[in-house]
């Protein structure tokens, strides 16, 4: 646009020069001088307007540049915050994986212990059946009834009962205990 105006200015100067060369009168000179001054003044005003427009453009450019700079700073802050959040999420994910592994280990341990308890309960149930069978056999064949009581005593009272109980606790030999108690009862009855 400035080039167009410069071309116009150049054209008006050329026209002015051509008119100047073709006339000799001073009145025409004064008119031409006034025309020349007017065209220079108009050109200066147009240039002034253009310069002001360019200054406004530069100011707008600088303002846009400042806005972009502020936006870039905000973007960088948000990016940093996002990276921190991502790091936290990764940390939580690792914690979750560790906790999941711990839970799995505990489940497996629970399953093993449950199986062990189940096996022990089955063995205890089998042992209880055998003991009950033995208790029934003693009751049916010998007339001996085994009951759980909270007072250590017998009827009739046996003097060595405490000693027999201590031996059965040490040796865990119940048959020897029964044999000794039977002998003691027999001796008490015959005496």
Of 4-13, 78-87, 90-99, 108-117, the one with minimum mean pLDDT is 4-13
Of 18-22, 116-120, 132-136, the one with minimum mean pLDDT is 18-22
Cα–Cα dist 8/32, whole Å: 17
In the numeric block, the tokens 């007017």 are attached to 38
**7-61 confidence digits (pLDDT tens):** 777 888 788 777 766 655 566 666 767 788 888 888 888 888 889 999 999 999 9
Cα–Cα dist 147/71, whole Å: 90
Intra-chain end-to-end CA distance of the chain, in Å: 147
Contacts 24+ apart (CB under 8 A), 36-42: 39/9, 39/12, 39/13
**H helix intervals, the chain:** 2-22, 26-137, 161-171, 174-190
> Regarding predicted confidence, which is higher, 154 or 98?
98
Residues 6 or more apart from 159 whose CB is under 8 A from it? 184
Mean pLDDT for 145-166 is 79
Task: Look at residues 165, 162, 167, 156 and name the one whose alpha carbon lies nearest to residue 191.
Answer: 156
**Band of pLDDT at residue 5, cut at 50, 70 and 90:** confident
Q: Is the pLDDT of residue 191 over 90?
A: no
pLDDT of residue 180: 92
pLDDT of residue 144: 74
> Regarding predicted confidence, which is higher, 188 or 170?
170
pLDDT of residue 60: 95
**87-104 confidence digits (pLDDT tens):** 999 999 999 999 999 999
Mean pLDDT for 149-166 is 81
How far is the CA of 186 from the CAs of 4, 93, 145, 181, in angstroms? 145, 78, 17, 8
pLDDT of residue 145: 75
């Amino acid at each position: 646009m400035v080039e167009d105006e410069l071309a116009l200015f150049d054209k008006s100067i050329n026209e002015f020069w051509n008119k100047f060369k073709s006339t000799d009168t001073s009145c025409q000179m004064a008119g031409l001088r006034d025309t020349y001054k007017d065209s220079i003044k108009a050109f200066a005003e147009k240039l002034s307007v253009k310069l002001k427009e360019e200054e406004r453009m530069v100011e707008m450019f600088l303002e846009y540049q400042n806005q972009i700079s502020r936006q870039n700073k905000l973007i960088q802050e948000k990016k940093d915050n996002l990276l921190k959040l991502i790091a936290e999420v990764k940390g939580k994910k690792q914690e979750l994986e560790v906790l999941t592994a711990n839970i799995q280990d505990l489940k497996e341990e629970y399953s093993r212990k449950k199986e062990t308890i189940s096996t022990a309960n089955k063995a205890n149930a089998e042992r209880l059946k055998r003991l009950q069978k033995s208790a029934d056999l003693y009751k049916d064949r010998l007339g001996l009834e085994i009951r759980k009581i909270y007072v250590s005593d017998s009827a009739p009272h046996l003097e060595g009962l405490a000693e027999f109980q201590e031996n059965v606790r040490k040796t865990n030999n119940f048959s020897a205990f029964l044999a000794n108690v039977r002998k003691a009862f027999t001796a008490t009855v015959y005496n």
